[in-house]
Chain A
């Protein structure tokens, strides 16, 4: 069942619609068996890139290579890629089993063979008992699992997922995304996963590509992306951030009274705004402190403690709820920064 993964390469893809540049020279290489997530706000070009890879859209310039071969001229129905759409892609007039077997029917496989393979795929996604139902009788999450089974049934070389979880409820989303990742690892297929939800991207991907206005801002492993954002856009888009006044000189920044090394891409010297994650902010009770607690928000396992600085700005610190219990609105505190590096952007 494991297909040997193939490498996928997008080379300088550009897509222009009239005066709008949906893609601006996107280059990306996905290693065999890797899951790369394309992350970005709507309109950033991630779905355009995926559709060009699938053959459903044509690039204005640039090339698409699979396993080293240029497939830019190959029509969509000959590309041997499995695709999962955002919603409503199951054929309503066919049962679940027939849906999953559809691709095999197009390849003229014998009936017995395609039904047995379809059943295998349904077992992989855990929906064997539903094989004789119709799409309208399934929940959104179940439909997407069937769509996944259908895409994998044809043993494609590449798996493409276009915001597969965006139309689902929050709880179903987390369960399904883990299941998709599990299946992807088990099958070992090269995968491109498009989403606007950064938590989703960080959770499932081997590497995440953050896109903005048709360009790739940064491509890195989730942890790296989170800790060392390469551009202000990435720092803003991924995870939460406080923006705190800081002074930079000689490769370090003076933030909230603490000296922290600056990350590449930061302002070289002078005044700037440091992007500090809530979990990197330290709050200590201090009767002589110049900052005041403004409010505490209980979030379950963690809490957010909001502190008003002497200059009037409010920042949020993330503490365990146990630690946060020590603080109440009005308490005087001292704040600091505990991070290996910080990105400083111009004010």
Chain B
């Protein structure tokens, strides 16, 4: 992994199009700004990981027939 020391206001280029800027350092928190082309989504890693795992689990399910006639949970009796 490339490790670079930067101060608030300084930036890092990832390729020609992605800019990562250190906005503010406060205690153990770092605020980071990221400017990327529309084709590149940016995620917090732990959320990306959770959604990836859920997508994989949903795709791996062995059920081939999804229920068609469903009891409606919100139905009022």
Are A and B part of the same complex? no
